[in-house]
Chain A
């Protein structure tokens, strides 16, 4: 742990600060534009890897007009924090996304991210774009099982070596030599499996909080000694898309960005793409005005709750959480947790299960120490300290009054 901390401190000073730089000047974007055009030209020349699905055709079949598609493209351009002039490029990138092979594996997980990705999210058009992502291998989605699936995976790995993007869902249990999770006939541990697949990948994307930080399996007491992808995979670009479940719009964003520029998006110190995790939930929250006004929900179902007051006193962790769900929301943008009167639990931040106590503000958090040690709220601790100091002072003062010696006494002595 200490080693990891040293490393992360070093990383903090190496990183070009956590700031989100949305305006890098015309020259930078002009350069990028040319670079992207060249990249897209190259991709177009490549054959599609998947079923050869043509996005344009799919869109037509589904009754989407070109106009809807461009609307989506301009929204996505904005999400990726690119200037509006990039919209046609983003649209083109979406059309050639099927040139980028994707391998999706599940480790210690609950399949929630796959569920979110495949069945429930994004503006409608995102899902169509997802059909276009060339998913070369996905355990839960594909029809093949067992040996057949393993064979398919091996083939994909060989064919697209050095080109595919590896998506990982779920944590990696290291306990009892990794035997809390094994795969296939050879009982390969999750760790070995991940390392083998990451070896041939162009980039590794950790989807969801489990793959990013270990997530719920890594919550105290971390029974399986679970860790995230970035703790295992070294020497490869790693992109983290935390949250529980990860927002599919951000998953699409990462693939699109890769298609467009051929590189991973700009990342923050926790390796999260800044376009998605550069902003705090709190700052774009629809209830922010109530926070500033000091209007808070005090009890579930009270008048404040009926009036959509701020959930800060109900333990909302929006002020400590960086994510874009207050902007793009969930399930086809229909709603999000704060929208249904439930505070943010901080699911895209590290260690949130243990440190972002849920449903309670910090003032009565009763946070369970990761080691199972002393459990005291901060204020109880502070008051205790103050009382101890007060008692100490009281005793000293009393003793001074009884037995103290004033300097003026000296003359009598």
Chain B
């Protein structure tokens, strides 16, 4: 019995075709009926244009795309023997802004995606204050971010060799006050810092999952990947409980003709990327404890994401505290001569590892390739070897459960199809 259905999700849209067997979901097919062709728009332009065009791939994680683009260009510069070292300040500002984007994304996801979905599954009325709760944190944190980035989404304050902004100490204090505001709220509603236990809203996630009996729903082959070495996470592969180093060469992208998204594999395997993968590779004790009990189930994934949001808030505060505003903002003067180089930029974005690959010929973009986090998680695969999300939905007892599983990856079709 095959039932075709359509799903329209938060952050863009994708069609989902369900295949049911004996009343439970057996397989799904994700189709992205939509594309803008950003990669081909980038080709032929001067490489600096990537810094404004690449963020526009996605309005939800625009800053991650911006950092990925600048990382790719800077990587290329280094490979072309242009020596430079980012100042601590420039790095701090970039990292701070990135953590802000991740925080707002994770919190927004909790209140606007996961909680409403959970209430629906339990046939309970969705509380009306969820949007307000989400906005409380996201307003404050994006405001703190905009102090350095100018605007969010689609900020473009990053330049090769640093940042363009030159904040004063007062502005840093202003940002810190906002981060404190967020932290205070988190300590009220999400985590208790003293006992490291979950509070109100996180508790309701847990009880709702428990009530619906889906705490460990959504398991897959337990392969995880994080490509970026960042201020908050390390790179690595976590395969069947064993942690190993990454090798960029093992990434493989396969074009599929039925859909506008490409499949992406690591070492011939489909892998999960995102906060859970990062926490496992970082060997975070708290997340590891939960993982041992619930494996790659839905609760592990939700917990890892929200907990990452929390730890990043602490990190963001730390960054602001040790920022030295007297340092240089940008160390690289503009190169007048024509450059040819290629580079790879990797960023750990909200949904996982984001890769931008560029080849520049005489200052112009020859090829631009983007691998987005959702591409890793939503890869389709074949009948014998299915993508991560496809494995995870198998066994869902209802459409709602399947939706919830898909959404637990915090998928983003805007990114996936570019």
B108 in the interface (beta carbon within 8 A) = yes
Residue with the highest number of chain A CB atoms closer than 10 Å, among B147, B153, B157: B153
Question: Which of B35-43, B231-239, B292-300, B373-381 lies on the face that meets chain A?
Answer: B35-43
Q: CB < 8 Å: which of B5, B142, B163, B333 contacts A331? A: B142
Closest to B44 in A: A368
A112 with B150: in contact, given A119-B104, A244-B56 (CB under 8 Å)?
no
A125 CB, min distance to chain B CBs, angstroms = 12
Is the pair B151, A330 in contact by a Cβ cutoff of 8 Å?
Answer: yes
Considering the chains assembled together, what is the distance between the CA atoms of A147 and B15 in angstroms?
11
**A311 (CB) vs chain B CBs: closest residue:** B164
B6 within 8 A of A: yes
Known: A219-B41, A301-B331, A337-B156. A111 touches B48 (CB 8 A): no
* Inter-subunit contact A332/B6 (CB<8 Å): no
Q: What would be 27 A-B contacts, judged by CB atoms less than 8 Å apart? A: A106-B13, A108-B34, A109-B59, A110-B58, A110-B60, A111-B11, A112-B153, A180-B36, A216-B41, A217-B36, A222-B41, A223-B37, A223-B40, A224-B36, A299-B333, A299-B334, A300-B162, A301-B164, A305-B166, A305-B330, A330-B150, A330-B152, A335-B146, A335-B150, A353-B41, A358-B51, A359-B48
The distance from the CB of B330 to the nearest CB of chain A, in whole angstroms, is 3
Cα(A342)–Cα(B62), bound, Å: 16
In this complex, the member of A111, A147, A217, A306 whose beta carbon has the largest number of chain B beta carbons within 10 angstroms is A111
Which segment, of A17-25, A41-49, A137-145, A405-413, faces chain B?
A137-145
Contact yes or no, A336 B59, CB < 8 A:
no
Shortest A28–chain B CB gap in Å is 36
- B33 close to A187 (CB less than 8 A): yes
Tell whether A115 pairs with B59 under 8 Å between CB atoms, given A223-B36, A345-B156. yes
A372 is an interface residue with CB less than 8 A from chain B: yes
Q: Which of A112, A115, A147 is B56 in contact with, Cβ under 8 Å?
A: A112
Task: Tally A residues with Cβ within 8 Å of B.
Answer: 73
Residue of A nearest to B412 (CB): A111
A146: B residues at CB distance < 8 A: 5-8
Given A146-B8, A301-B329, CB of A127 within 8 Å of CB of B139: yes
B414 touches A330 (CB 8 A): no
Distance A223 CA – B260 CA, assembled complex (angstroms): 13
A111 to chain B: which residues have CB within 8 Å? 11-12, 58-60, 414
Residue of B nearest to A51 (CB): B128
Q: Does B143 have its Cβ within 8 Å of any Cβ on chain A?
A: yes
- Complex-state Cα separation, A366 to B338, whole angstroms: 12
Closest Cβ–Cβ distance, residue B129 to chain A (whole Å): 10
B211 contacts partner chain A, Cβ-Cβ < 8 Å: no
Q: Is A110 a contact partner of B56 (Cβ separation < 8 A)?
A: yes
Q: Using Cβ atoms and an 8 Å threshold, which residues of chain A touch B164?
A: 300-301, 305, 340-342
CB-CB under 8 A for A217 and B146, given A111-B58, A119-B108, A139-B8: no
Question: How far is it, in angstroms, between the C-alpha of A358 and the C-alpha of B10 when the chains are bound?
Answer: 32
Question: Max chain A CB contacts within 10 Å: which of B4, B49, B164?
Answer: B164
Q: Which of B131-168 contact A (CB under 8 A)?
A: 131-132, 134-135, 138-139, 142-143, 145-157, 159, 161-166
B157 touches which one: A115, A340, A372 (CB < 8 A)? A340
A185 at the interface (CB under 8 A from B): yes
Contact B332 A330 (CB under 8 A): no
Give every chain A residue within 8 A of B40 (Cβ-Cβ): 221, 223
Which residues of the other chain, B, contact A358 by a CB distance below 8 angstroms?
48-49, 51-52
- Give chain B residues whose Cβ lies under 8 Å from the Cβ of A106: 12-13
| B206 located at the interface, meaning its Cβ lies under 8 Å from any Cβ of chain A in the complex | no
Residues of chain A within 8 A (CB-CB) of B328 are 301
Q: Are B154 and A140 in contact (CB under 8 A)?
A: no
A306 to B330, CA, bound (A): 11
Q: Once the chains bind, are B154 and A244 in contact (CB under 8 Å)?
A: yes
Contact B108 A336 (CB under 8 A): no
**Contact pattern, A 305-338, Cβ under 8 Å of B = 1, otherwise 0:** 1101000000000000000000000111011111
Q: Are B151 and A337 in contact (CB under 8 A)?
A: yes
Closest to B117 in A: A143
Task: Give the complex CA separation of A357 and B330 in angstroms.
Answer: 21
Of residues 336 through 364 on chain A, the ones whose CB sits less than 8 Å from some CB of chain B are: 336-342, 345, 353, 357-360
Choose among B34, B149, B162, B166 the residue that contacts A182 (Cβ–Cβ < 8 A).
B34
Q: Are A108 and B152 in contact (CB under 8 A)?
A: no
Interchain CA distance A330-B143 in the complex, whole Å: 9
The answer to whether B138 touches A305 (Cβ under 8 A) is no
A340 near B165 with CB under 8 A, answer yes
How extensive is the interface on chain B, given as a class? 35 or more
Given contacts A146-B6, A146-B8, A305-B329, contact A339 B150 (CB under 8 A): yes
Is A79 located at the chain interface by the 8 A CB criterion? no
Distance in Å: Cβ of A213 to nearest Cβ of chain B: 14
A85 sits at the interface (CB 8 A): no
Option from B41, B112, B126, B162 in Cβ contact (under 8 Å) with A301: B162
Contact partner, B166, options A112, A139, A224, A341, Cβ 8 Å? A341
A118 interface hit (Cβ, 8 Å): yes
Name the contact of A245 in the complex, choosing from B104, B132, B154, B329 (C-beta under 8 A): B154
Known: A145-B8, A341-B157, A359-B48. 4 other contacts (CB 8 A): A119-B134, A335-B150, A342-B159, A345-B52
Residue of A184, A334, A341 with most chain B CB atoms under a 10 A cut-off: A334
Whether B11 and A140, one on each chain, are in contact in the complex, defined by CB atoms closer than 8 angstroms, is yes
Task: State A244–B46 Cα separation when bound (angstroms).
Answer: 20
Residue B315 lies at the interface, judged by CB distance under 8 Å to chain A: no
Contacts of B165 in A (CB 8 A): 340-342
Contact of B126 with A143 in the complex, beta carbons under 8 Å = yes
Q: Mark B16-46, 1 if CB is under 8 A from A, else 0.
A: 0000000000000000011111101100111
Q: A120-B138, A140-B11 are in contact. Are A331 and B329 (CB under 8 A)?
A: no
Give Cα A305–Cα B262 distance, bound, in whole angstroms.
Answer: 42
Whether, in the assembled complex, A226 has its beta carbon less than 8 Å from a beta carbon of chain B, the answer is yes
| Whole-angstrom CA separation of A111 from B105 in the bound complex | 13
Cα of A221 to Cα of B332 in the assembled complex, Å: 31
Bound form: Cα–Cα A51–B131 in Å = 14
Whether, in the assembled complex, A131 has its beta carbon less than 8 Å from a beta carbon of chain B, the answer is yes
Are A334's CB and B147's CB within 8 A?
Answer: yes
Assuming the contacts A181-B33, A359-B48, asked whether A300 and B329 have C-beta atoms less than 8 A apart, the reply is yes
Tell me which residues from 95 to 124 in chain B have a Cβ below 8 Å from any Cβ of chain A: 104, 108, 112, 116-117, 120
- Let me know if B143 and A180 touch, CB within 8 A: no
Is B264 in contact with chain A by the CB < 8 A criterion?
no
Contacts of B35 in A (CB 8 A): 180-181, 224
- Asked whether A340 and B152 contact (CB < 8 A) given A111-B60, A358-B49, the answer is no
B319 beta carbon closer than 8 Å to chain A: no
The 5 tightest CB contacts between A and B, nearest first, are A112-B59, A301-B330, A223-B37, A331-B146, A340-B165
